[in-house]
Chains A and B, each alone.
Chain A
Amino acid sequence: MISLNWVKDYVDIASEDLKELAVKITKAGVNVEEVITKHIDHLVIGKVLRCTDHPNSDHLHLCQVDVGTRTVQIVCGASNVREGIKVIVALPGCVLPGNFEIKAGKIRGEESNGMICALFELGVEEKTEETYAKGIEEVDSPLEPGEDANIYLGTDDTIYELDVHKHRNNDCYYHIGFAYEIASILNKKVTLPEDSFKSIKENVKNHITLEVKTPKCPYYTCKMVSDVKIQESPEFMKKRLIAAGMRPINNVVDISNYVMLEYGQPLHFFDKDKLGDQILVRDAKEGEEITTLDGQKRILKSSDIVITDGKKPVCIAGVMGGENTEVDENTKNILIESAIFDAVSIRYTASNLNLKSEASIRYGKGLNYEYTDAALNRACHLLEKYAGAKVLSGVVKHDNVDKTLKKVKFQTKEINTLLGIILTDEDVKTELTRLDFPYEEKKGIFTVTIPRRRLDIDPNINDIAEEIGRLYGYHNLVSTLPKVPTRRGVYVGDVGMRKTISKRLRSLGLNETKNYTLISPEMASHFQYDKKEAVVLPNPMSLDKAVVRTSLLPSLLNVYEYNRARHVEDILLYEIAKTYNKNYEEESKVAILMEGNYLINRWQGKSIPCDFYCMKGIVENLLDYLGFKNRYTFEKATLPDMHPGMSAIIKLDRETIGILGRVHPSYKKEEIYVAELSMQKMYEKQVKPIKFKEASKYPEIKKDLAFAVKKETEADEIIGHIKKAGGKLLTDIDVFDVYVGENVADDEKSIAFSLTFKDPNRTLSDEEVTQVFEKIIAEVEGKMTAKLRNK
């Protein structure tokens, strides 16, 4: 939160419309999320020069009021209005709370050019009988007629609520930094605040010794003040702290916060008498304890930094001070610490201790040592001025900070190429001046020095282009297309296969789902058919999202349950997603779930239900579409969470690529069929290109036959023998009947096949087909327990 009244101290914005300024700032890259103001326009201080009774009323008055530039007549009904008092005048055009607009007009025939206001009319007080009875506000203030009455009311400030990106969170998080941003937008200069003070003879070095024993504190400075008087802060300081979101406490505490909000540099004040005469900055010892200002006992880690008095911790560096050296109402002497600590370390400590303070946030962003010094001096100045402090001479300092300035060399054309705009050297100079970035220019080569306050800028041409570009305005960019060769992009790797499968399954009537990769341990315990160990998050957000799934089936079952609970019938789902095992090996999988009817016409009583063979048909259709026709088989298998008699593994080129079957009735009682295939394994297989096959010109011969076999015999076994004996002439085998019952033994079933014989080059004779046919019968009967039926 930025107080614009405060910013006014550093950059001239008196003539700016602050709402428009907010838009300009946002356009240049720092997002002003909200402009908060209670300011009422056209509200001025007036002085009642004359007050007479209204000729047509028994209670109204006619007032001649000096409003600075002129004297106006105003009709006023308040009983306390009288000559000589200062009042608040709402002039025509003023809009009071409640959207009440003041207009010039006549009241009972007399001209009235405004309104003399009571506080409740301005929204400053609530309207009660009491405030109403008070009448108009009698202003007791040195403010002159015509001056802004908002100053008197304390409603003259405007607050910007910023939503700043991480980078600019550094320099736009304090008022001076933000003033620089405004100055660059408005092309103005920044004036830094007063920081002078009188030093007394006594030197701080006689009172404190400093030792820094950690590389995580590159810069540590101290000054000392004596004889402070703790009291309330001046009004302006309290107002500004409140505006910026902080609570005023007393002058000393407030000054440390005030300076932090000016320079972005947190300060820490030690009660010097409690501290002693030594400061040692070091890494904390594991388990070391300190009670912080908020009364909490904190246990530290060795990664934390502590300020100690040589023996015990007195402050968790950059995060919070210790209770043992706290400034209180009796404090007389203060040691002011202004330092830089390792930003990463502070963030870790603040987060470990769950102690995010205004100070730790700022330390965590990084600081610039110039402002560490400036803030120290500014604090001395303010303590002298508002706490009666005497400032000891000298500074105690540890300085191991890298002071190399960042410089960038570039030519204007490089900026132009990067942005796609046309700037001249002069334009660049103008922009750099606005930014207040010192530069040299020799023969078209610029050398820019990046000011230390802009920690976010790295010495790259891109960074300079960005600074120039955002001030130049991206709305000025023209649209061009990259000058690159024309081509059409492709799907790289297995992306194409994923798209192909997805589109095929959709056209087969399955609905695509997208589910969470992270699932609960309970879900992850199901369908572990490929026996993969899963990645378990060491630090999950919640137990239901703790495991990286190895199978998509548990997620599909969730979607099924969700839809079933909402009375959706005929649920056909699929998902394609990546899965991982414990070694982070990736495997993309395709999962399908079907329940209900695949095709249905209810009023005709016709349907094709989702059963094992429907699901198998979907899988076969997909595999054929992918080019794997005649390369896959299904083998019965016992699989976890699957029906023991209705499940199979799917093999492609003799390698298992997935599973298929009914979900175990004890797990889900509904008749749900699922399949899951490894896209990875399918992707690794070679597929031959499509080749045209001419339909045979010669007639084909169809012959049917049926075998009686044991009930447990699988069709594939018979087909295998038929194929073997059938040779080249046998071109197609189709199962057209499976029969159990009359005329078949109790432990047997009959399977009927339709065989197609064909030769692409000639007409087959009956004799040769019969010969092959006989051979097939002999093969099947000879090699397995099977008997030809209806012989």
Chain B
Amino acid sequence: MKELESILAELTQKVKTATDSNELNAIRVEYLGKKGSISLLTAKIGELPQEEKKTFGAALNQVKNQAMELLEEKRKEMEEKALNEKLSQENIDVTLPGTMIPSGAPNILEKIIEEVEEVFMSMGYDVVDGPEIEEDKYNFELLNIPKGHPARDAQDTFYIEDEKILLRSQTSPVQARTMLAAGGNTPIRMICPGKTYRRDADDATHSHQFMQIEGLLVDKDISLSDLKGTFDVIAKRLFGEDVETRFRPSYYQFTEPSVETDISCFVCKGSGCPLCKHTGWITVSGAGMVHPNVLRNCGYDPKVWSGFAFGFGAERLAMLKYGIHDIRTFYQTDLRESSTFDRKDV
């Protein structure tokens, strides 16, 4: 037994001082190899008297296990040390730039349109599209703007065929088409963002091509107050929960009554600044109750149905929201500017 103890002590000492895996292997062979000192003791068990066999065997086994553990422990320690040494050589500069993953930015108008769409879709409005080369009938006549009406002059339309085919001057024809398709007996909730065209010379505030976001709701017992409530929702979502809204009387051919919708200035909070021209209010859209003639023209009986329609200028919304001063910004993609918009907004 004493022999066993001294073997273990000796091995422990050797393992402790071993410096590499070769040395460790040599120790393993010396004690646990076929002819190793511990293995040789195993062979001796047979020579012992019966009553000692068991205790010696157990003790030997324990020593053998301890020896293996010690060796294993040391091996791991050495490996770890070696790895650490290797890793200490693999030091990188974490401040060097990462690989450029291209960022795809949306067009600014599309970004604002997506935001508006999200608000209205959550309120049950479908998003509908329509032709940009349009018939006079849909662009004007059905919308209570008959031939010869002065409202036509103001829109300065791009005609392709005189008084017949044109580049739409507003997105309202999509409303007319939607109503006609619905057949006069189903409620409608829709918005129709899209491109529109008027004969305006391009400068910082005018563009011959621009985008409208118009919307329409047709149902029963719809009131101007409902329009006000709906406008509140979109205004607060776009410009902040603390903006206030107001309606002012206005005149459009396809709505009656018509209003201009203002929000309180989100920059100065109403105290007056250059953005709101010191009025505290900013006009953001035109709206009103759908004109009975339009309802009738599009197959809805105005005695039964009523509704409201509204129209935002996408450029105006974006200019206000992002502080853009030149309308041409939207149509001349400058990647140095647009990359700002490749992110989620607050």
Complex Cα–Cα for A510 and B161 (A):
37
- The reply on B180 being an interface residue by CB < 8 A is no
**Which residue in chain B gives the minimum CB-CB distance to A511?**
B105
- The reply on B217 being an interface residue by CB < 8 A is yes
Choose among B106, B123, B333 the residue that contacts A562 (Cβ–Cβ < 8 A): B333
Choose among A462, A511, A537, A603 the residue that contacts B257 (Cβ–Cβ < 8 A): A462
Choose among A479, A511, A586, A599 the residue that contacts B99 (Cβ–Cβ < 8 A): A599
Contact B226 A466 (CB under 8 A): no
CB distance from A347 to the nearest CB of B (A): 7
CB distance from A682 to the nearest CB of B (A): 16
Question: Does more than half of chain B's interface fall in helix, strand or loop, or is it mixed?
Answer: mixed
Contact A470 B127 (CB under 8 A): no
- The reply on B131 being an interface residue by CB < 8 A is yes
Question: Which chain A residues border B338 with CB–CB below 8 Å?
Answer: 511-512
- The reply on A761 being an interface residue by CB < 8 A is no
Contact A573 B124 (CB under 8 A): no
- The reply on B195 being an interface residue by CB < 8 A is yes
- The reply on B121 being an interface residue by CB < 8 A is yes
Complex Cα–Cα for A438 and B222 (A):
28
Choose among A26, A469, A482, A539 the residue that contacts B230 (Cβ–Cβ < 8 A): A482
Question: Which chain A residues border B187 with CB–CB below 8 Å?
Answer: 484
Question: Which chain A residues border B335 with CB–CB below 8 Å?
Answer: 511, 563, 568, 571
- The reply on A405 being an interface residue by CB < 8 A is no
**Which residue in chain B gives the minimum CB-CB distance to A364?**
B150
**Which residue in chain B gives the minimum CB-CB distance to A556?**
B333
**Which residue in chain B gives the minimum CB-CB distance to A27?**
B248
Interface size grouping (class) on chain B:
35 or more
Contact A601 B99 (CB under 8 A): yes
Contact A518 B208 (CB under 8 A): yes
Contact B150 A494 (CB under 8 A): no
A:462-490 near B, CB below 8 Å: 462-463, 465-466, 469-470, 474-475, 477-490
CB distance from A164 to the nearest CB of B (A): 9
Contact B229 A479 (CB under 8 A): yes
Contact B224 A492 (CB under 8 A): no
Contact A516 B209 (CB under 8 A): yes
Contact B105 A462 (CB under 8 A): no
Question: Which chain B residues border A482 with CB–CB below 8 Å?
Answer: 217, 219, 222, 226, 229-230
Interface centre among B133, B162, B233 (most CB of A within 10 A): B133
Question: Which chain A residues border B148 with CB–CB below 8 Å?
Answer: 343-344, 347
Complex Cα–Cα for A681 and B34 (A):
79
Choose among A486, A571, A584 the residue that contacts B124 (Cβ–Cβ < 8 A): A486
Contact B104 A507 (CB under 8 A): yes
Question: Which chain B residues border A343 with CB–CB below 8 Å?
Answer: 148, 150
- The reply on B300 being an interface residue by CB < 8 A is no
Complex Cα–Cα for A745 and B218 (A):
75
Question: Which chain B residues border A537 with CB–CB below 8 Å?
Answer: 158, 160
Contact A495 B129 (CB under 8 A): yes
CB distance from A177 to the nearest CB of B (A): 15
CB distance from B271 to the nearest CB of A (A): 17
Complex Cα–Cα for A508 and B335 (A):
16
**Which residue in chain A gives the minimum CB-CB distance to B108?**
A514
Complex Cα–Cα for A514 and B96 (A):
35
Complex Cα–Cα for A566 and B337 (A):
12
- The reply on B97 being an interface residue by CB < 8 A is yes
Contact B224 A418 (CB under 8 A): yes
- The reply on A741 being an interface residue by CB < 8 A is no
Contact A418 B289 (CB under 8 A): yes
Complex Cα–Cα for A362 and B192 (A):
36
- The reply on A165 being an interface residue by CB < 8 A is yes
Interface size grouping (class) on chain A:
35 or more
Q: Give A535-560 as 1s and 0s: 1 = Cβ < 8 Å from B's Cβ atoms.
A: 10111110001001000000000010
Question: Which chain A residues border B56 with CB–CB below 8 Å?
Answer: none
- The reply on A420 being an interface residue by CB < 8 A is yes
With A475-B246, A488-B122, A513-B333 known to touch, is A419 a contact of B223 (CB < 8 Å)? yes
**Which residue in chain A gives the minimum CB-CB distance to B154?**
A166
Choose among B103, B228, B336 the residue that contacts A509 (Cβ–Cβ < 8 A): B103
Contact A570 B289 (CB under 8 A): no
Complex Cα–Cα for A578 and B256 (A):
33
B:88-115 near A, CB below 8 Å: 96-107, 109-110, 114
- The reply on B33 being an interface residue by CB < 8 A is no
Contact B209 A420 (CB under 8 A): no
Contact A578 B228 (CB under 8 A): no
Contact A512 B123 (CB under 8 A): no
Complex Cα–Cα for A489 and B195 (A):
21
- The reply on A506 being an interface residue by CB < 8 A is yes
CB distance from A614 to the nearest CB of B (A): 11
- The reply on A404 being an interface residue by CB < 8 A is no
- The reply on A59 being an interface residue by CB < 8 A is no
- The reply on A159 being an interface residue by CB < 8 A is no
- The reply on B221 being an interface residue by CB < 8 A is yes
Complex Cα–Cα for A482 and B124 (A):
11
Choose among B126, B289, B339 the residue that contacts A490 (Cβ–Cβ < 8 A): B126
- The reply on A287 being an interface residue by CB < 8 A is no
Contact A480 B197 (CB under 8 A): no
A:563-621 near B, CB below 8 Å: 563, 566, 568, 570-573, 577-578, 580, 584, 586, 597-604, 606
- The reply on A644 being an interface residue by CB < 8 A is no
Complex Cα–Cα for A645 and B174 (A):
44
Question: Which chain A residues border B258 with CB–CB below 8 Å?
Answer: 466
CB distance from A19 to the nearest CB of B (A): 14
CB distance from B304 to the nearest CB of A (A): 12
Contact A493 B129 (CB under 8 A): yes
Contact A603 B336 (CB under 8 A): no
Contact A517 B246 (CB under 8 A): no
Contact B256 A566 (CB under 8 A): no
Question: Which chain A residues border B199 with CB–CB below 8 Å?
Answer: 541
B:272-307 near A, CB below 8 Å: 289, 291-293, 306
Complex Cα–Cα for A420 and B230 (A):
13
- The reply on B259 being an interface residue by CB < 8 A is yes
Contact A514 B333 (CB under 8 A): yes
Contact B225 A572 (CB under 8 A): no
With A493-B128, A535-B133 known to touch, is A480 a contact of B209 (CB < 8 Å)? no
CB distance from B345 to the nearest CB of A (A): 15
Q: Give B116-141 as 1s and 0s: 1 = Cβ < 8 Å from A's Cβ atoms.
A: 00001111111111011100000000
With A487-B124, A512-B110, A513-B107 known to touch, is A469 a contact of B249 (CB < 8 Å)? yes
- The reply on A29 being an interface residue by CB < 8 A is yes
Contact A165 B123 (CB under 8 A): no
Contact A603 B289 (CB under 8 A): no
Question: Which chain B residues border A480 with CB–CB below 8 Å?
Answer: 223, 225-226, 228-229
Choose among A27, A491, A539 the residue that contacts B126 (Cβ–Cβ < 8 A): A491
Complex Cα–Cα for A477 and B228 (A):
8
Complex Cα–Cα for A493 and B293 (A):
28
Choose among B125, B165, B248 the residue that contacts A474 (Cβ–Cβ < 8 A): B248
Contact A606 B99 (CB under 8 A): yes
**Which residue in chain B gives the minimum CB-CB distance to A548?**
B133
- The reply on B239 being an interface residue by CB < 8 A is no
**Which residue in chain B gives the minimum CB-CB distance to A366?**
B150
- The reply on A400 being an interface residue by CB < 8 A is no
Question: Which chain A residues border B229 with CB–CB below 8 Å?
Answer: 479-482
Contact B150 A166 (CB under 8 A): yes
Contact B219 A484 (CB under 8 A): yes
Question: Which chain A residues border B222 with CB–CB below 8 Å?
Answer: 482
Interface residues of B (CB under 8 A from A): 96-107, 109-110, 114, 120-129, 131-133, 147-148, 150-151, 153-154, 158-162, 165, 167, 187, 189-191, 195, 197, 199, 201, 208-209, 217, 219, 221-226, 228-230, 232-233, 245-251, 256-259, 289, 291-293, 306, 330-336, 338-339, 342
Contacts A603-B96, A606-B99 known; list 16 others, CB within 8 Å: A417-B306, A418-B257, A418-B289, A418-B306, A420-B225, A421-B225, A479-B225, A492-B129, A505-B104, A517-B167, A518-B158, A537-B158, A580-B133, A584-B133, A601-B99, A603-B97
Could you show 18 A-B contacts with beta carbons less than 8 Å apart?
A: A165-B251, A167-B251, A419-B257, A420-B224, A420-B225, A475-B246, A477-B225, A477-B228, A482-B226, A484-B217, A488-B122, A489-B125, A493-B128, A502-B106, A512-B110, A518-B197, A562-B334, A571-B335
